[in-house]
Structure formats: structure tokens, C-alpha cells
Structure 1
């Protein structure tokens, strides 16, 4: 059955006009005349049967229908472009491997090792994107992901990479000249820097340190500034905003340089671990298979046993 779709040119003109809120600038981007873009938009509105733009005090604005349609069109064009670029990059068995990774883990642990992978597999082009939470592989253009948490991801295979020890760190000046705190309970006298996707991290560390009877909000969480990414928490700690509890391997550079110190030398093993995750349907793809083997080799060099789940 024939699809009910407008022309691709009309959609491109609409998407460009949405971004610029100007037919003139959209025309410049697409190397068309302003009247040509206007005709394409008018044809699209006629096809749909509803206006997508209106003018308010000489300004071009989207209608309610236009706003809803714009989000869908931009998503479709983005996905089509990504698929096209992936095919254009394809050469031999390799092609493009898209890795969805945790930003700080990626920049501090994975990226410094990628030169070795690139040298071994020059036919594979890497495309690194960030994702801080689990996602649906059917809706996100990614071949594999690096995930922290339990080994649970519907429809996917999880390969354990490594565990982690979390430690309390802060700027040296925050301790007022002392090399470290004398007692774990002293930490409660300081601002505790929080990580949005690890809301229980401080509770876990304090519990392991033997500190009980804490009061927090309704969810039992302690107060303190919250940051979405570890690199933000690290910078906040370096700036002296408070004490952060962080994976020790992610702050080795700051600890060695003296920008951060251990508030207490009391590492606590996290309950969860880092995993390489990929859809079961992609397990035998060449690019996924060789990256999996290479990454597990890197993790093993760090003394980590890798087990598929």
C-alpha cells in the first residue's frame, strides 16, 4: 500500500524553516530561493490540511500543529541522516560502530584506550555518543552501550567489565590543613555533593562506614547540590564546594596532582558494576564481536573478570 507521505524536499524545507524561523535563512541553507521554500511549505500545509506557521507581529512562529509536527519530522530526518552516514562509512566488514557511553567513564577510561582499538581495526569507524541511563536500543541509534548498574537490560546481553570502589574526596583547603578527617561522622559537618543518577551513593558509603540513623527527605536521600555527570561533581569538589563520594579510578588524576585528597581513606565496594551491553540480535556482528573481545581484554588487564550475563 502506498504511504501517505509528503515530498522529502518539503520536509527538508519545513525542518530548516523550523530551526531558523525564517524562510529566507532556510533558503540560504538549502541553496534555494525564498519563494521556492515558501512554495514547498505551502504545498506541505495543503497536503496536511492545516497551517504549520503563522505570522505574529511580522515574526514567523509555529502553530500548535506545527510544533507537534516539527518534533516528529526532526526525529525522522535525524534518524535517516544517521543511517545514511553509517552506510556511507561502511567499508568491508567494519563500518561504523556507535557506542553509547557514560560521559566521565568514557572520557577517563575508554577514550585513552581507543588508539589501540583503532590501530587493530582500521576498517571500523567509531561514533561515540553519551547516555547516562538505560535506553531502548530500538529507539536509539547505538550498537553497544556501557552501563553502570545491575546486569538487567531487556533484550540485551550484558558483559561485566569492572566493579568500582567509591571514596570520599575533597579539595585540600576544605580540611583546613589536616591531611584527612579523624572520623567518618565528621563528614556530616560538610556539604555533601550529590550525583543525580547515583542518589543512594552517599547513603551506601555512610552505611558501610558504620553511620546509621541518618535523616533525609522522604526518599531517605541526604541534602546537597546535585549534578547530572561525574565530571561536574569532580569539578565541584576541586572548587571546594563540598565532599564528593566518587569511583576512585575516575579521580586518580586529581588525587595524584593534589587537586583532590581523600577525606578518609575508606574505600567502599559499589553494589553494582560496569557492563558492556548490546542487543542479542547484534551479538554476531563483526564490529560488535571484535569490540566486545577487545574491551573485555582491556578490562581483564585491569584485573577484572568479565562474565556475560
Structure 2
């Protein structure tokens, strides 16, 4: 049986969360559509219920102590979970909600266009997606599963391999007309666009083309969307995952350079915590994603 003393009401927790986040009772009151005095009273009620002082009072300001800051972090996660659960009840009353963390560009350019097929085949399942670049601790997040790029080394999770990474070098049609790039030597003389998170991309690509990597310079960016835009703008040669490259090539914004679909290190994986094994929505998604990945990989150049 849960002890009510340690289950403050939502209004008390919302007041704590807002005051700590904003560092201001005035801004917290504006967010919650309450008066400043009401917010202050809510904070005092919370402290009285817990029997713990969370704020010091200085010149009518509330200054959170270390306990308040730590408490707010946990409360914010709990509020997020309650909000997601409530949204699921409203948007999908039959249940079967799946919360996914997905790489930004993968979500918009690969997974997103395919999702309608899954949702049409599984009308009782709703999917919530948020983007994440790095790995995280499932115990402190609200996700059921995640899609990431790398090796099979995310600890304490189950792995489902989607497909290996293959890449294609691309340039804008205008850049291709202005530069000779028929050999690796000629290519090494033009600027290359580099992605921060894929430091081995170009070295792997040169080896896959049968040559040695060069030290050619160029700009450095942190998102594939920026890589694509830089290439379209004629700033150099972009190295793109094949699922991105083929979209841009088919729409005429970029053209391929030398051999397409070169294998490089790394793969795309779906991972989920071991305690989620019996999640019916996740099982359905895994089966569908396996089929989608097989078809996609078989169709690559």
C-alpha cells in the first residue's frame, strides 16, 4: 500500500517543477496560470507534507536547495510519464502504445514514411516518437525502445539488427559539372563534408572504393540534415547513408560519385529493456521492422 505522505498531489509537484525550472516564482506562476502567493503556498504545503525544507526564502524569493533540485529531476520524469500515459488513454483508448527514441534523420527520412503501413495493419497500437542522438538509461526515461546507430554494445538491453550501414558519396549537379571526380585521386582534391559523429566514414569509404583515405579538408557539421544541405549548396562532397542518398538522387538534388552503396562500420539497431519482452505492441513492431529492413536492404544498389 502506497503511503500518501510520499504521494503529493499533482498541483504541488507542478509547482515544484515550475519553480525549480524557471528559478522564479513569478515565471512559475505565469506558466501555471496562478498567482505568486498561490505558488508560494503550494511550495510550503509540499514542504510540510514531506517534512523537509526544499527552499530557502531570501527577499521574497524561493531558492531551491540540493534536495529540491534532485527531487525536481525525478518529479519531472514522473510527470512526463503521467502525461504520456494520459495522452495514450485519450488518443488510443484500446491500449497498445509504444514510445520510441529514434535518431532524428532516421525518424524523418526512413521510419516516418513507412509507419503508416504499420499503423494501418495494427489499428490498436499508437506510436509516440522522440528524437535522441546518444544512448541513455532506460530506467530513467519513459521509452519502451530505441533505434540507434553503432555496434551491438548497448548494455542491459535486447538487440534487433535492422541493417548494416552503406554509404554513397554525393554532390550537387552544379558541383559535379565544375569538378572532375572520376577517380579517387581527383576526388581527394575537392572539399569533403564531415559529420562529427561518424569520424571513420570517409576512411571506410575510401577503403571500400579500393583506395587509401586522404587528408582532404572541408567543413564539419553535426547533423545529416546539415550534411545534405551543405552538399546541395555546393560546399563539397557529402557522404550519406544510402537510404538518404537515394532519396536525394531520385529527386535530382544530388548526384552520386563513383561506386554507390559502400559498406562501412556500424549498423542500425532496435533495442529495448529486458522487462519489455512481453509488450505486445513492441513484439508487433519488431516483427514489422524486421520485414521492412529485409526488403529495404535487398533493394539497395
Same fold (TM over 0.5): yes
2:34 aligned with 1:35: no
Greater helix content: 2
> 1:287 deviation in Å?
0.4
Q: Does the alignment pair 1:226 with 2:220?
A: yes
Q: Closer, same or farther in 2 for the Cα pair 1:272/1:26, shift >3 Å? A: closer
**C-alpha distance in structure 1 between counterparts of 2:278 and 2:224, whole Å:** 33
Q: Deviations over 1:180-215 (max 9, x none)?
A: 512112233222211222111011112333433745
Say yes or no: does 1:49 pair with 2:53: yes
Per the alignment, residue 246 of structure 1 pairs with: 240
Deviating more after overlay: 19-28 vs 185-194: 19-28
Alignment of 1:166-181 (within 5 A): 166-177=167-178, 181=181
Measured in 1, the distance between the counterparts of 2:139 and 2:235 equals: 40
CA RMSD of aligned residues (A): 3.2
Q: 270, 273, 291: which is aligned to 1:297?
A: 291
How far does residue 70 in structure 1 lie from its aligned partner after superposition? Answer: 4.5
153 and 182 in structure 1: CA distance in 2 versus 1, 3 angstrom threshold:
same
- In the alignment, is the contact (CA less than 8 A) between 1:101 and 1:146 conserved in 2? yes
Q: Distance in 2 between matches of 1:268 and 1:121?
A: 35
CA distance in 1, matches of 2:14, 2:297: 51
Give 1:264-275 correspondences, 5 Å limit.
264-275=258-269
Q: 1:118: Cα distance to partner? A: 1.3
Asked whether 1:197 is paired with 2:177, we answer: no
Q: 1:88 to 1:258 in 2, by over 3 A?
A: closer
Give yes or no for contact 2:162–2:290 (8 Å, CA) kept in 1.
yes
Q: Give the drift of 1:223.
A: 5.2
Aligned to 1:219: none
Q: Distance in 1 between matches of 2:63 and 2:172?
A: 49
C-alpha contact (below 8 Å) 1:54/1:63 kept by paired residues: no
Structure 2-normalised TM-score?
0.82
Matching residue of 2:142: 141
CA distance in 1, matches of 2:70, 2:217: 38
Shift of 1:115: 1.1
Q: How do 1:120-139 and structure 2 match up within 5 A?
A: 120-139=121-140
TM-score (norm 1): 0.80
Figure out how many residues of one structure are paired with residues of the other and give that number.
Answer: 294
SS of 2:178 mapped into structure 1: coil
Structure 1 position 224, deviation (Å): 3.8
